[in-house]
Amino acid sequence: MLYRPLLILGAGSDGGKSLLTAGLCRIFRRRGVRVAPFKAQNLALNRSVHPAGGEMGRSQAVQAQAAGWVPPWI
């Protein structure tokens, strides 16, 4: 299977990269493409917390949901 990476970059914070990534994940998923969003470092204070104590960035949780990789606590 061929994997084709796509990198979303921006010149600074609050530029809409996470929203764009979530939108692209949803579009690709609807077209039957398997996607896996990944953020190397999350500096945001907004997080999604699992009842057992695990957590991940809220934007990453939304991107995972758009890609079909739903965290079990959402």
pLDDT, one tens digit per residue, over 11-43 is 888 888 888 999 999 999 999 998 888 877 766
Can you give the pTM of this predicted structure? 0.68
Q: Across the strands, what pairs with 47?
A: 57
The more confidently predicted of residues 34 and 53 is 34
> CA-CA distance, 49 to 41, in Å (whole number)?
17
Phi/psi at 48 (5° precision): -105, 125
Average pLDDT over residues 66-70: 82
Average pLDDT over residues 4-12: 88
Q: Is 16 left (phi over 0), alpha (psi -120 to 50) or beta?
A: left
Asked if residue 74 has pLDDT above 70, the reply is no
Burial classification of residue 62, based on how many CB atoms lie within 10 Å of its CB (0-12 exposed, 13-18 middle, 19 or more buried): buried
